[in-house]
């Protein structure tokens, strides 16, 4: 339970920091506002890919 709690915290930090990271490179706010949803969507696709492909490759 502690591991899950800490992992969710790491996900939230990644989603929050990605917009600041983009602004550090001079990206306009109209662009950086999409970074958080795209980051979280990529994480979700990674979870789904892991569920589908890991059991087939490591059986």
Mean pLDDT of successive 10-residue stretches along the chain, which has 59 residues? 91 88 91 90 92 86
| pLDDT on residue 57 | 84
Q: Which of 20, 41, 40 is nearest to 32 (CA)?
A: 20
Most distant CA pair in the chain, distance:
46
Q: What are phi and psi of 26, to 5 degrees?
A: 85, 15
| pLDDT on residue 49 | 93
Environment class of 27 (CB within 10 Å of its CB; exposed 0-12, middle 13-18, buried 19+): middle
Distance CA 33, CA 5 (A): 26
| pLDDT on residue 16 | 87
């Amino acid at each position: 339970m502690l591991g899950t709690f800490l992992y969710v915290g790491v996900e939230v930090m990644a989603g929050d920091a990605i917009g600041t990271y983009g602004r550090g490179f001079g990206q306009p706010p109209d662009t950086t506002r999409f970074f958080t949803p795209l980051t979280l969507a990529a994480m979700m696709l990674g979870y789904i890919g892991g569920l589908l492909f890991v059991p087939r490759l490591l059986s």
